[in-house]
Amino acid sequence: MAQQGVTEEMYAHVAEYGDRDEYSERERLAIEYAERFALDHLGIDDAFFERLREHFADDEILDLTICIADFLGFGRLTQVLKLDQSCAVDPT
C-alpha cells in the first residue's frame, strides 16, 4: 500500500475519511462509494454518480464498482464459511 501512497495513518483512519485532510477528493468519493455500496446500495442515485463523474471516467467507475463488489462478496463469503486467516473451514 505504501507504494500507492497509502500510509498506516491513512489506513487506520479510513472510517473518518470525511474529517481527515490526507485524503484527496477522489479518495473520499471512492471511500464514500464503497460505504454506500455496502450499507445502502439502493440509495446511490444519479446525483451521486454525477459527483463520481466529476473525478472518475466511466471506465474507472466500472473498475471501482467491480472492486467494491468483489471485496464485499469475498468478505461475506469468508464470514458465511467461517474462514479464518489460514483459510481453514470450521466443520461445525
**pLDDT one-digit tens code per residue, 23-81:** 899 999 999 999 999 999 999 999 999 999 999 999 999 999 999 999 999 999 998 88
Q: What is the pLDDT of residue 87?
A: 58
Q: What is the pLDDT of residue 49?
A: 97
Q: For residue 85, what pLDDT band results from cuts at 50, 70 and 90? A: low
Residues 6+ apart with CB under 8 A from 11: 1
Q: What is the pLDDT of residue 3?
A: 66
Q: What is the pLDDT of residue 2?
A: 59
Name residue 4's amino acid.
Q
Residues 6+ apart with CB under 8 A from 61: 49, 52, 53
